[in-house]
Chain A
Amino acid sequence: MILLDSVTKTYPGDTKPALDSVSLHIEPNEFVFLVGKSGAGKSTLMKMITKEEMPDSGKIIIGGIDLDYVKKRHIPGYRRRLGVVFQDFKLLPRRTVYENVAFALEIAGMSGKEIRKTVPKVLELVDLSDQAKKFPDQLSGGQRQRVGIARSVARQPKILIADEPTANLDFLTTGEIIRLLKKINDFGTTILVTTHNENIVNTLQKRVVTMKDGKIVNDQKNGGIYKLDETPQPKLVRNMMQAPGHALKQRPRRVIQ
């Protein structure tokens, strides 16, 4: 479903490549976590998939589409076939929840009748039926991310990629979002999620691909885990983390192993 073959990318002005001969094959209906420190190359890889960036070399095939053949004018059509969830939600601020979800269907040329039928169902899926008329700035972070997910799945894409979908959310909301992504995966959608949150990764027991310095350094099928950084934390932070149930415990500094 997602295939990267020896993909290399170096940004202009950089000496080290952001992606260094990365090869990755994700099967249909898989749920894959892409983990790694900042600067490991996760976001560049995601941008390659959404065709925001072009590789210097290598081949990328997404859902049977060779991205080499996708010309500039075909990019919107290609992106409509993907579901994309963003860290900062990327909702249209001057449109209501309903209109944000409907937008994804309107740009695909769906009729008004189909849209009126589909949007309420998708909002029900993300449990936002009662928020349809609200604007994004009237919602909490978790609700906004659920709108983002609703928009990305409204067209029923075969692939959904989520770039740090829980980075701006608290522990409880993170759990909700991940449960939602799991539910979407159960419907048959292939999901690729980048994250820093070891709790999510360790709880879900799915495939974990670890990146470091632009390379894939580890690929653990089914039940992959990744551990906290062993680097000593400042005393105050360490104490707070040790306090039972404290939110900070869920978000310590970490490295990928």
Chain B
Amino acid sequence: MVGKKNKKKEEEIKVEDPKTLKKAAKSGLRTMRRTRKHHPLREEGRIIKYGTKGFARNFWLSSAATVVMSITLIILFVTVVASVILTNTADMMRDKIDITIYFKPTTTREILDQMTETISADSNTKSVVTSDSAEEYEKFLTENAGSDEIINVLDDEMKALMISKMQATMRIKVYNVDNLDSIKGIVENDETFVEYLDDEKQPTYDVNQVEIATITSWARIARTGGIILAAVFLVISILIIFSTIRMAIFSRREEIYMMKLVGADKRFIRGPFLVEAELCGVLAGIVAASVSYFGFMWLAPRLSGYGINVDEIVGLLQSNKLIIMFLIFIGIGIIIGRVSSRLAVSRYLHKA
């Protein structure tokens, strides 16, 4: 019906009659706009079909993009994990640091409890453990339970002698090893402390000062350096993946131009390229997550042997959070692939 009407109007066109011409032309435009109804699901299906076929038919190009994406994702994983491990190891070492204060062997349990109360009141104190001379002796026995040579010579006389000589101790764990001034102030100025401090053995916070400083600086480097490195690698990864996908699309820019000339919508042209890039992202995510998981699980016991704290990462990988890690990898792959592809295709879409 519409076609018949148009035909009639076209026949009426006269070059000399601008009014009729304009009317007929506008009518034609209205007919053009009444195009066939598009089915979004059908279109989506076709886009996915051609995207998948394109991925398979451009096998070498797709593989190259997937490999580059996988490598960059693995580098990103290594950076993040290294930062976490370094921070955890530094924290673990800091956690091992305690201040030991030695008191005269005559210091009683009551006095030790009184001093514990005083030191616990300081905001930097995390925990305090004390032992008097008798407890120190028990500890000595426990530590040397396997050494018959030592145990056999410890008669009552020897025991009494050792207890009279062994210092009572106070082991303090602190929140901030960088600032021990307040604790130092209590130890050096509190009357009870001053009275019972051992004359021979000095508190250890002075002895450990260098180690404390080293570990503290390591922890700081690990934390800030890890964040900076991860950010830098993320940017580099995005740039590498973007360049790879851009190169792949550059080699197919003629196709985009051809599709435009035969009347394909932008969405229909762009769609298969996005699907291809997303497929690269999914595959790269799976490859990177698998390599990272198996690689790390193989390496973890060896790192642990060197006193490196890998427990948190191993715990994460062994728990049900593993699936989350895979999904994050795939998600990053898809997002980077999609964004890169969209930007690269747009460049050529606007040209024709």
Contacts and interface: CB of A to CB of B under 8 A. Distances in A.
Contact of A76 (B6, B26, B264): B264
B28 A65 contact: yes
A92 B258 contact: yes
B28 A106 contact: no
Contact of A94 (B10, B25, B46, B54): B54
Interface string A129-164: 000000000000000000000011000000000000
A63 B28 CA distance: 7
Contact of B28 (A59, A66, A79, A112): A66
Interface SS of chain B: helix, strand, loop or mixed? Answer: helix
A67 to B, nearest CB: 9
Interface string B243-255: 0000000001001
Given A76-B263, A77-B263, A94-B57, A110 B32 contact: no
Given A74-B33, A107-B262, A61 B21 contact: yes
B58 interface: yes
Give the contact-size bracket for chain A: 35 or more
B32 A74 contact: yes
A235 interface: no
Contacts, number: 115
Given A5-B15, A65-B32, A109-B38, A90 B25 contact: no
Contacts of A106: 46, 268
Nearest to A68: B25
A107 B29 contact: no
B24 A64 contact: yes
B259 interface: yes
Nearest to B35: A77
A29 B301 CA distance: 81
A245 interface: no
B97 to A, nearest CB: 64
A128 B128 CA distance: 91
Contacts of B29: 64-66, 69-70
Interface in A49-86: 50, 52, 59, 61, 63-66, 69-70, 74, 76-82, 84, 86
30 contacts: A1-B10, A3-B13, A25-B15, A28-B7, A64-B27, A64-B28, A64-B29, A65-B28, A66-B22, A66-B25, A66-B29, A70-B29, A74-B32, A74-B33, A77-B33, A79-B262, A84-B262, A90-B261, A90-B262, A92-B255, A94-B54, A104-B263, A107-B259, A107-B262, A107-B263, A108-B35, A108-B36, A108-B263, A109-B37, A109-B43
